[in-house]
Amino acid sequence: MSAEDTIKETVTSNDVVLFMKGTKSMPQCGFSSRVAGVLNFMGVEYSDVNVLADEEIRQGIKEYSDWPTIPQLYVKGEFVGGCDIITEMTLSGELDQLFEKEGVSYDKEAADKIREANA
């Protein structure tokens, strides 16, 4: 299976996927840590893909999304964004709206706490 096939299978068979450096329990870079931290704090069930474990996936995900950086968040097969976009969406409430629209469960109170702490 090619890297592109693996990526496509991963993003279409999981509701929420984070391609990141490291894992959700042990991120290996600050940007990956920030996005994983938001998802973990909000109680979102998601699959994590450690791009450091596979160079073909690491390069392939950038081509798949046409986005040059990692982490990359996918919801219901669609690319949402990287660290800056996810941070902005969390603070504006857009991430909550996306999760609600797509039927992804999350802790609304936790999301509100993130916004309060960053107000």
Binding residues for [2Fe-2S] cluster: 29
Beta bridge partners of 78: 75
Return left, alpha or beta for 18; rule: phi > 0 is left, psi -120 to 50 is alpha, else beta.
beta
Task: Report how far residue 101's alpha carbon sits from residue 10's, in angstroms, rounded to the nearest whole number.
Answer: 21
Binding positions are: 29
* Distance separating alpha carbons of residues 40 and 63, to the nearest angstrom: 27
